[in-house]
Every structure is written in C-alpha cells, then in structure tokens.
Amino acid sequence: MAIASFFVACDSGNTEVKATSQQVTLPKSQPVVSVLPFTAPAKSIITVEKANVYAKASNGLIELGVRWSERIDNAKDFEKVQILNAYNVARDQLCARAGLQGGIAEYDWITNVAMKNPENKLAFEKAGFKIK
C-alpha cells in the first residue's frame, strides 16, 4: 500500500504553494488475532512447549513496552488513556500471536501462578529461564 504525502513550500513574500508527492511504502498490517477468554487450569503444571511460548511472549512484551513507553510519556493527558488502551490491545495481540491463546491474561497466569510451582522449574529452565 502506498500513500502520497504532500510538502508545502512557501517563499518569503511569495504566496505560491507548490505540492510535490512522494511514494511511501507502509508496512503490511497484521490481521487481528482472536484472543480467547482465559480460564486458569485446575493444575498449574505447564509443558516445556508452553514455557517456550511464554519466553517468546515475554521477550516481545519487553520490546513492546520499550517502544510504547516513550509514546505514553510524551502524550498529552487526554491522549494517555487512548494510548494505554491501545497498548493493552497490543499486548493481548502479541501474546496471542506468540501462542498464548488467552492473551495477556494467560501470560499473567503463567507469571503469577505457574512460574511459582516448583514442578515447572525444569520446563522454564529448558526455555532459558533461571529459576531460584
């Protein structure tokens, strides 16, 4: 997809306006991924595969946070709520794309519940985490 952007040039004392167009290629947008409602499982044991997906989502969330933090910090007060809402949607989408179908809710459950279960230590270590 390409859009034309226009640049306006004005000479001092001359009110003539010139418009030039330049083709800009935009990155392809990704379709919205369905995020399923997350219900915590009865047992907090996860597989190595799930720990790997969690690690992938975790890395992505860190990068996403860095990218969005400046945008949030520089926003005017009335824009912050909209930006924060968009950021929450982006986090949900990132987790779902990584393989956590329950989105950020599933990610939070793994962080707060599954990671604390000693039976998951090996799965997390195989995914690259160091558990104390």
DSSP letter string, 60-77: HHHHHHHHHHHHHHHS-H
Domain ranges of the chain: 31-126
CA distance 4 to 23: 5
**pLDDT value of position 29:** 62
Contact between 126 and 59 under an 8 Å Cβ cutoff? The reply is no
From residue 24, give the alpha-carbon distance in Å to each of 5, 18, 28, 31, 107: 8, 19, 12, 21, 36
pTM here is 0.73
pLDDT by residue, tens only, the chain of 132 residues:
333 333 333 334 443 434 434 444 444 567 788 999 999 999 999 999 999 999 999 999 999 999 889 888 888 988 888 999 999 999 999 999 999 999 999 999 999 999 999 999 999 999 999 887
CA distances from 85 to 18, 33, 56, 100 (A): 39, 17, 23, 20
